[in-house]
Amino acid sequence: MTDDCTLCELPIRGDPLTDPDTEGSFCCQGCLEVYRTLGDVDPEEVSARDLDAEASDAEAVEVRDDAETAFLTVDGMHCTACEAFLESTAGDTDGVYDVEASYTTEMLKVTYDPERTDPEAVGESVSRLGYRANTPEVGTAAAEEERFGRDELRTVLGLLGAMAVMMIYVLFVYPSYLGIYPESFLRESATHVMVFVPIPLISTFVVFLVGYPILRSAYVSLRAGKPNMDVLIAGGALAAYGYSMYEVLTGGIVIYFDVAVAIVAVVTLGDFVQRRVKRRALGSVGDLDFDRVTEALVRDESGAHTVDVSDLEPGDETVVKRGERVPLDGTVVEGEAAVDEALVTGESVPETKEPGDSVIGGSIATDGRLVVSVGEKAESTYDRLLAQLWNVQSGSGGSQRLADTIAALFVPFVLGLAVVVAGAWLALGAPVREAVTIGVSVLVVSCPCSFGLATPVAVAAGVSRAADEGVVVTNTSAVESLADVDVVAFDKTGTLTEGRMRVTDVAAPDTDEREVLRYAAAVERDANHPVADAIVARADEHASDASGQAVADGGAVADMETTDRNESEADDGDVPRVTDFEEHRRGASGTLDGTRVLVGHPDLFAEDWTLPESVARAVADVQDAGAIATVVGWDGEAKGVLATRDTPRADWEQTVEALAAEGRTIVVVTGDDQSEVTEFEAHPDVDDVFAGVLPQAKAAVVERLRGADGTVAMVGDGTNDAPALAAADLGVAFASGTELATEAADATVTKGGLRSVRRLFGIAETTRSRVRQNFGWALGYNVFTLPTAALGFIDPLLAAVAMAASSLLVVANSSRSFGLGDD
């Protein structure tokens, strides 16, 4: 019977690791160290809240396994109330399991039964009351420009109409009200036609056509039971328009068409500016792309031809040549090649794949040619981009939920206040016109929109700035919550290090160092792993050194992911090739000039080979220094040791120090041996280093950290870190060709390395500060203006200007420079 690891609860392969002072048995040294350090915190208790929430969601909607997800762009969304209305309307369509609407992206995410309905039917169900639902065109500017052009046209028409009305007011109406013209001036037949015919006509056009999105938004918000600011705006504009139209029809001359038109024009202009800022803030995220596989060579009965990855279907046979990436997950049906799956397994040595073996999309065929049959869950790049765009732009953090609650309560309060104020003025003997005007002013001057904008615009600006810094934020709530992180856990390889190996030293106690390097390179030239690449690169550098100097420390660097080698003998310099090459699990061997040469891990020399004491001491010295010891031997005896190590990123110490200075606990989690992390362990700002942790156990480590220390952010590189990234409260991934880590992470670093990670934390701090500033302004503005309007000191026109200015101030505060400086 196989025992399970006490920490990660995975089966233990081989003999379990135990410790006299620690209860339990463990699958790896890393799990033992984590348990010894953090104790018996139950990770299930840490995630209880999340699991309960997921369970309740699962109970609410039963979705079949074959359900599909589609995205629709919806033109005409005016506010967050449209979300509830569209969700309710689309949700009534037969065959629809779940609908999520996002005002931020103006998109619908629909989960449906493909046998009962389709996206077109769902789109038709919501394409009424001015909404238009269509299949989105990701990455194309034409559709976005068309929609933006309609907003621009409506704004221009509203402003032109308002200017025409205001011009008539300035020339004729205001002078009469101020006594410059006699009271009879407006009653003269010619003047009456010039004033009271065009003004009502133009005002009707502006209020009901230009202002249609506002009126529709007010209607759907009331129908959805979530009254929004447009209820107040529409109420104020319609009250002023209705009263004025009554005056015209009954022969009166005191009209407030200017107020109605100004309210609609100013609010439309404000909405246009807000949309423009939002699109600019979010647009850079949509423009970001990954170094992903976009095309695949497909083999079928007609031959081989290239297709888009998005067109691949399960069972399609794709041809993967040497050095190319596997486009999608699948199974090898033909060929044999060493496949680099370090992104998934964390193992730097490529694994040989042959027919029947499964391969991961994004892994690299380092040699040979493969034919891969696409797996059952083929996912198109098109769908992945849609899902990513949705996640980036549609998240809702705690601050946004608070803002939505405030706005929902605020609107009914203001409606009641306006009625009470108007009634109070009437009771005090004020004329009906004055009481109505003051009531309209209260409606118009209130600004629940500033509460609604406080979070999303600030977060959108933060997401945009993060994108400028090379970080794609795939969960917008992370921009808010990242500032509250207590523990930052770093993966080592590819995160704190560059993921590149280099030879730092050659030790040959009883042999010429150059000879050791020459023999090692002869074998490793046919191998496929990062250490081999580094050894060959160092030997090539030595061979090209005309001066014949001894090998110097800090030689050439070989990329850990792939090294493009020229196979011609002319480029091999003085480094010979071996025959009878053979790869072992932790090394390689071959025959050179009739002599068998073995290169690899010291354990390879435990049987049938002699390991002299001088070489054993050199191995210990290399490992104590935190490097990888590669032993080289021939004639049945180990002759020397090559020290190779992953290159730490130049700014890893700066990053650790900056995050620790803000009071955060810094932890390093790695699958490498303890001897390879001494440099990080010795740093005073690194609190814990957990070495020897298998990729599948990293998630358990993160759960333990959450239980022991609080909120945890995990920073990792490849998809071998995906479970840990998903288990953390917040995950930050370095971009990879497969993008699998991106799906598990809340943010993905596409450029800038650790500098971008530091800046992401700075952006999060600034974003949270601005959200609080916006809330403070929104609260202060309404506390001041509502009593002022109720006392009659603000007329409706000034109220409209003040309301729009309040929202624009929130937008301006959120959009200003982040001032991160240079680091």
Tell me the residue ranges of DSSP E strands in 119-200.
132-134
3-state secondary structure of 343: helix
Predicted confidence at residue 790, as pLDDT, reads 93
User: Two tokens at 19?
Assistant: 């410790």
The residue-averaged pLDDT of 387-414 equals: 60
In sequence order, which ranges of 589-644 are alpha helices (DSSP H)?
613-624
Asked whether residue 807 carries a pLDDT value surpassing 60, the answer given is: yes
- Confidence class of residue 423 from pLDDT cuts 50, 70 and 90? very high
What pLDDT score does 784 carry? 92
Rounded distance, CA 103 to CA 76, Å? 10
The type of residue at 704 is R
At 63, the pLDDT band (50, 70, 90 cuts) reads low
DSSP assignment, residue 550? P
Beta strands in 409-458 (DSSP E): none
Gyration radius of the chain's alpha carbons: 34
Helix or strand holding residue 68 (H, E) = strand 68-75
pLDDT at 200: 95
CA distance 264 to 242: 14
Give the burial class of 823: count Cβ atoms within 10 A of its Cβ; 0-12 exposed, 13-18 middle, 19 or more buried.
exposed
Q: Cα(145)–Cα(203) distance, rounded to whole angstroms? A: 28
Model pLDDT for residues 314-333, shown as the tens digit of each residue: 888 999 887 788 888 788 99
Q: Copy the structure tokens of residue 616.
A: 């054993």
Q: Is the pLDDT reported for residue 787 higher than 90? A: yes
Question: What is the residue type of 277?
Answer: V
Tokens 């599909």 belong to 68
| Encoded amino acid at 404, one letter | D
3-state secondary structure (DSSP) of residue 513: helix
d(C-alpha 761, C-alpha 728), whole Å: 16
Q: Which has the closest alpha carbon to 801: 447, 465, 482?
A: 447
Q: What is the mean pLDDT of residues 291-297?
A: 69
pLDDT tier, 405 (very low <50, low <70, confident <90, very high otherwise): low
pLDDT over 50 (residue 689):
yes
More confident residue, 384 or 708: 708
pLDDT tens, residue by residue, 524-563: 887 767 788 888 888 887 766 534 444 444 444 444 333 3
CA distance 346 to 492: 11
pLDDT in tens, 444-476: 787 666 676 677 678 778 887 887 888 877 676
What CA–CA distance (Å, rounded) separates 766 from 775?
Answer: 14
Higher pLDDT, 407 or 750: 750
Q: Percent of the chain at pLDDT above 90?
A: 10
DSSP 171: I
Structure tokens at 416: 């009641």
Q: What is the pLDDT of residues 176-225, one digit of tens each?
A: 878 888 878 888 888 888 999 999 999 999 999 999 888 888 887 787 67
Contact 717, 494 (CB under 8 A): yes
Which phi and psi (to 5°) does residue 60 adopt? -70, -40
Count of CB atoms within 10 A of residue 650's CB? 11
pLDDT at 736 exceeding the cut of 60: no
Q: Please state the rounded mean pLDDT for residues 384-409.
A: 54
The CA angle 332-67-56, to the nearest 5 degrees, is 115
As annotated, the active-site residues are: 491
Is the predicted pLDDT of residue 142 greater than 50, yes or no?
no
Q: What is the pLDDT of residue 245?
A: 92
- CB-based burial, 59-87: b 16+ in 10 Å, e otherwise: eeeeeeeebebbbbbbbbbbbbbbbbbbb
pLDDT value, residue 136: 60
Q: What six digits make up the tokens of 165?
A: 């009305």
User: Is 738 a residue whose pLDDT tops 70?
Assistant: no
- The type of residue at 389 is L
Query: For the whole model, what pTM was predicted?
Result: 0.60
Q: CA-to-CA distance for 60 and 52, rounded, in angstroms?
A: 12
